[in-house]
Every structure is written in C-alpha cells, then in structure tokens.
Amino acid sequence: MSELSGMNCLVTGGAGFVGSHLVDALVAEGHQVSVFDNLSTGKRYNIMRHGTKVEFIQGDIRDMSALAQACQGKDIVFHKAAIASVAESVRDPQSTYEVNILGTGNVFEAAGAAKVKHLVFASSAAVYGPMEYPECHEDTPLQPASQYGLSKLVGEQYGRFYAGFHNMQVTCLRYFNIYGARQSPSSDYAGVISLFIHNLLANKNLIVFGDGNQTRDFVNVADVVQANLKALANTGQYPFEILNIGSGQKRSLLALIEALRDLGFQRFDVEHRPDRRGDLRHSSSNINKAKKLLGFCPAVAFKDGLAEVVDYIRLQKESSMGSLQAGEPFVNDPDKACNA
C-alpha cells in the first residue's frame, strides 16, 4: 500500500473503460472509492466485482447538486466522465459542450467548494490538433481540430483557474490513444484496436479510413492507471500541472495491422475508405515531463498489451457462446468502423 492509502476518492466516469481500471487499482491500494456515472457509455458490471467496497452513485455531471453531494468528504477527484468521442462531437457539438464543458465546470466548482485537495482531470492529446512537430510537448501550440479537442482545452483552462481560485491542486493528464480490455469497439480512440480484434475474431475484413499511414501513440490502460496513481502519490507537491501521458512511441495503423498478423491473424483484407473529418493525421507524445515530475514510466510492451486484448475479447466471445459470465457480457458491433 502507498503512503497515501486510505484516501477518499471520487471517480467520475468510473464505470467506463479508463475509470473502471482506475477503480480496480484504487481499491487494490486500499483507498475508499465512490463512482459517479450516468452509465451513458459506462457499465455497472465493470465495477461490480468490488461489491459494496465501491459506492456507486448514478448521476450526471450536468447536475450540480448531485455533484456537490458526491464531492463531500472527498480528498481527491479523478474526473473521467465525458463524451469521449471526436466523431460524436463533430456530429452533435451541443451535447459534447454540455457534458464536457458545462459538466466539467460543475465538477471543478463542486470539488473546490467541498475543499477537495486534488483534482485529476482526463484531458486529451486532441487539444494539440494537427501535428506540425515530430512529437507533442506540453508547451507545443494548441489548435484543436474538433469540438471534442476544444472541450478538453476548456477543461484544462478550468483547471488552471480553479487551482488558484479554490486553492485546489489540479493535474491535467493529456492522454494519447489508450487501449486495453473493456474498451468499447465503437470508441474513437484506440477503440480501433478492440474494433480490429473484434472483426478479426469474427473473420471479417478491416476497414481503414485513409491510407493507413496515419500514426498514433497507443498507451496501455495499465500505464494510464499508473499515471493516475502517481498523480495521487504527488498530492500536495505542486499547485497545477499539465502532463502528456502516452507511450512515447508512434505507430501507424498499417504497423498495428502487421502486429496483429504477427499474433496469428493472417486471413483478412484491408479495405480503405476516405479520411474522416476531425481525425488527426499524426499523434505522438513526448512524456519527459511526466517521467520527471511523477516518475511515470510506461511498462507494458505493445505486443503484450495487444495479446492481452486478443485474449480478453476471445474470452468474451467464448462466454457469450456458452453461459455468459456475470459481469462480462459480450458486446459485438463489428460493422462499426473507426480509426484512432
């Protein structure tokens, strides 16, 4: 257990992909955990294994009074709740603004008013926009190319403001493309990884938007959890910081497809479709600041992380064919196509 075990933690979006992995780790480290989630994309079964150890509050971050109540007595808030989709933000900007901007403002306000010590905000590499540099540093000029990226940039500005206004420590973690078990294949991010694997296991071809030479920085969800735990361990150490959280390595979609072939998937074709609006061409992180300040160190090798997702999805499929395991229903939407 860490020195700061026994912290009272609130995880907004804790029933989602990233949030639920974080909840697992916080419980394992001996913290008290409450989850605040409206279950729009999150699932109760993602956190059910913890039973009554984790308090579940079904609520919406647009509801200020519910948030104010949820923040009472908390030491730290991990704010993960969001409409986490570039494509959705282009299709329906208003909903993205309501949740990711108004809702995020509510989270900062409620946490500050409840005298929460530290708020860790899930920002995104989408704040950088089209890359004109070989890799993004935290001080690289920001020019979001989607309403989603813009909404995350506003979230960071809330962070900068509230760190001073409420004297609350704020850490903004700019995640790159996270992948791992429990990720919905319809996610816009490394959802491309779970989507591809779903399709390959269903003997379907892969759809790639554009030529496939676009690059992404795929970071395993276990490493993202590590960054959040390191931020928690640094509670009280600085007032406000923005940190890139990625693997520090870039891979093209074609390289991802090759890595899947190396895992034994051989019999499929790749179908190319036109680029999608809002999608970035390249994305690559410089993570030196997080390494230095937090001691962050990505530990999961890409091929191991990929093999783990294959095993997870294969197991889901098998249990859906036999008796479904409680808590892990099989989700399949292989016709949905997305790139990171």
Ligand X SMILES: NC(=O)c1ccc[n+]([C@@H]2O[C@H](COP(=O)([O-])OP(=O)(O)OC[C@H]3O[C@@H](n4cnc5c(N)ncnc54)[C@H](O)[C@@H]3O)[C@@H](O)[C@H]2O)c1
Give the residue numbers marked as catalytic. Answer: 148
Site for ligand X in 267-296 (CB under 6 A): none
Per rule CB under 6 A, is residue 159 in the interface with ligand X?
Answer: no
Residue 77, strand partner residues: 10, 119
Taking CB under 6 A as the binding criterion, the range among 81-89, 131-139, 157-165, 249-257 that sits at the site for ligand X is 81-89
Residue among 32, 169, 187, 316 that touches ligand X (CB under 6 A): 187
Tokens of 189: 């991010």
Residue closest to 156 by CA, chosen among 192, 125, 201: 125
By the 8 A CB rule, do 189 and 84 touch? yes
81 or 290: whose CB is closer to ligand X?
81
Cα 137 from Cα 302, distance rounded (Å): 22
Give residue for tokens 């294994």.
49
Site string for ligand X, 11-30 (x = CB under 6 A): --x-xxxxx-----------
Q: Are 33 and 66 in contact (CB under 8 A)?
A: no
Query: How many chain residues bind ligand X (CB under 6 A)?
Result: 30
Q: How far is the CB of 86 from ligand X (least distance, A)?
A: 10
Nearer to ligand X, 49 or 268 (CB): 49
**Smaller CB separation from ligand X, 6 or 144:** 144
Nearest CB to ligand X, comparing residues 142 and 268: 142
- Closest separation in Å from C-beta 267 to ligand X: 29
> Minimum distance between the CB of residue 208 and ligand X, rounded to whole angstroms?
18
The reply to whether 337 sits near ligand X by the rule CB under 6 A is no
Q: Quick check: 173 and 223 in contact, CB under 8 A?
A: no
Angle at 64 between CA 62 and CA 68, to 5 degrees: 135
Cβ atoms of 321 and 254 closer than 8 Å: no
User: What residues numbered 132-151 form the site for ligand X, per CB under 6 A?
Assistant: none
- Please say which residue, 160 or 268, places its beta carbon nearer to ligand X: 160
Q: Is 80 in the site for ligand X (CB under 6 A)?
A: yes
Encode burial over 298-335: b for 16+ CB neighbours within 10 A, e otherwise: bebebeebbebbbebbeebeeeeeeeeeeebeeeeebe
Give the nearest distance from C-beta 158 to ligand X in angstroms. Answer: 13
Under the criterion CB under 6 A, does residue 41 sit at the interface with ligand X?
A: yes
Near ligand X by CB under 6 A: residue from 11, 22, 33, 37: 37
Measure the CA–CA gap between 157 and 149, rounded to whole angstroms: 13
The runs of H, that is alpha helices, within the chain are 17-28, 64-71, 86-91, 93-96, 104-113, 147-165, 191-201, 221-233, 253-262, 288-294, 302-321
Provide the edge-to-edge strand list for the sheet that holds 76-79: 54-58, 32-37, 8-12, 76-79, 118-124, 169-175, 240-245
Query: 142: helix, coil or strand?
Result: coil
Mask 90-129, x = binds ligand X (CB under 6 A)? ---------x---x------------------x-x-----
Q: Which is nearer to ligand X, 19 or 112 (CB)?
A: 19
| Stretch binding ligand X (CB under 6 A), from 58-66, 205-213, 256-264, 266-274 | 58-66
Check residue 38 for interaction with ligand X (CB under 6 A). yes
One residue of 34, 96, 146, 177 binding ligand X per CB under 6 A: 177
Closest CB to ligand X among residues 271, 333: 333
* Positions in the binding site for ligand X (CB under 6 A): 13, 15-19, 37-42, 60-62, 80-84, 99, 103, 122, 124, 175, 177-178, 187, 189-190
